[in-house]
Structure 1
Amino acid sequence: MTDLQQQSKPREYSIRVGAKAVIVRDGMMLLVKYDDENGPHYNCPGGGHQSGETVRETLAREVLEETAAEVEVGDLLLVLESPPFKPDPSFGRVHHLLLFFECTLKPDSEPRFPDSPDPNQTEVEWIPYSELANTRVFPDIARELETALTGARPVFIEEGRR
Structure 2
Amino acid sequence: MGRIDYLHDPEAPAANSVVPSVVAFVQNDAAQVLMIQRSDNGRWALPGGGHDVGESISDTVVREVWEETGVKAEIIDMSGIYTDPGHVMQYDDGEVRQQFSICFRAHPVGGELRTSDETTQVRWVDPTDLAQLDVHPTMRLRIEHAMDRDRPTPYIG
TM-score bracket for the superposition, by shorter chain length: 0.7 to 0.9
Q: How does 1:1-162 map to 2 (within 5 A)?
A: 13-25=16-28, 26-36=30-40, 38=41, 40-83=42-85, 86=86, 89-92=87-90, 93-106=96-109, 109-114=110-115, 117-119=116-118, 121-138=119-136, 140-150=138-148, 151-157=151-157
Show structure 1 runs of 4+ deviating over 4 A.
Answer: none
2 CA distance for matches of 1:35 and 1:148? 24
Q: For residues 15 and 34 of structure 1, do their structure 2 counterparts lie closer, same or farther at Cα, with a shift above 3 Å needed?
A: closer
Structure showing greater radius of gyration is 1
Q: For residues 144 and 58 of structure 1, do their structure 2 counterparts lie closer, same or farther at Cα, with a shift above 3 Å needed?
A: closer
The normalised TM-score by structure 2 is: 0.74
2 CA distance for matches of 1:144 and 1:64? 20
Amino acid at match of 2:105: E
The normalised TM-score by structure 1 is: 0.72
2 CA distance for matches of 1:105 and 1:31? 13
Amino acid at match of 2:24: A
State the shift of 1:80 in Å.
Answer: 1.3
State the shift of 1:138 in Å.
Answer: 3.4
Amino acid at match of 1:99: I
Aligned length: 135
Q: Which runs of 5+ in 2 are unaligned?
A: 1-14, 91-95
Contact 1:34–1:122 under 8 Å retained in 2? yes
2 CA distance for matches of 1:113 and 1:71? 14
- Over the aligned positions, Cα root-mean-square deviation in angstroms equals 2.2
SS of 2:89's equivalent in the other structure is coil
Aligned residues with identical type, % of pairs: 25
Q: Which runs of 5+ in 1 are unaligned?
A: 1-11, 158-162
